[in-house]
Amino acid sequence: MIEAAFEYFIENNIECRNYQLKFYPNTKLPTMKMDMSNHDLVPITGNLAPELEAYAIIPKNPNPRSAELDGMLRKYNVDLLKKRPVRLGKYIIDSPATARRLIESEIPDNKNIPDKVKIAMTIVLKEMLNPRHRKRDSQISPANMGPTEMIKTVILASPDSPPMVLRMQEKLKGEMGVEKFEELRRGYE
């Protein structure tokens, strides 16, 4: 059924991804009596939106069929992504004027967006308007990674990784606790 959906997306020029990362928002997943021996449970909201209590379930062992589907979808998405407008949530950012309008009125006035998420969106928009030139780590290319690879990259990031990756790593370490984070890191090494 998933493969048929991917074929439909490709035939109709719809961008799609094959995420083996499952999100479980607004649940008490860590307190449930579930067998998680083949998966890692990673909190994904932290201080940004703690009210969501969201977690990602990451399989410990790679799925060969999933990797094949990832390759097919990445190949298809290359040209499609070049034409895709920049999005931030439901908002399409088609110009600096749109970004400014979102910062000044649209986001602050939207009562459906939690305050912490509004702050994060504003930071992203300001960065888009005034980008800082950062030295990119040639080993880290998020465009070529699936979610599992991305989280592993964050967990295994070295001190010379890009600042954004290091901030994500510190955030994750703070949420999980140093001991649990280091245990997870050892599992990926």
* Tens of pLDDT, residues 57-110: 777 887 788 778 888 888 888 877 777 778 888 888 888 899 999 999 999 999
Return the pLDDT at 144: 62
Q: Across residues 137-162, what is the average pLDDT?
A: 70
Question: How many Å apart are CA 151 and CA 157, to the nearest integer?
Answer: 10
The pLDDT of 158-167, averaged and rounded, is 78
pLDDT score of 27: 61
> Please, what is the average pLDDT of the chain?
77
Query: Which of these, 132, 129, 130, 131, lies nearest to 97 by C-alpha position?
Result: 129
* Secondary structure (H, E, C), the chain: CHHHHHHHHHHCCCCCCCCCCEECCCCCHHHCCCCCCCEEEEECCCCCCHHHCCEEEEECCCCHHHHHHHHHHHHHHHHHHHHCCEEECCEEECCHHHHHHHHHHHHHHCCCCCHHHHHHHHHHHHHHHCCCCCCCCCCCCHHHCCHHHHHHHHHHCCCCCCHHHHHHHHHHHHHHCHHHHHHHHHHHC
- pLDDT, average across residues 160-173: 81
Q: How many CB atoms lie within 10 A of CB 121?
A: 20
Mean per-residue pLDDT for 22-30?
58
pTM score: 0.35
pLDDT in tens, 27-72: 666 677 778 788 877 766 655 555 666 667 777 887 788 778 888 8
From the list 55, 31, 53, the residue with the least C-alpha distance to 42 is 55
Sketch the domain layout of the chain as residue ranges.
86-129
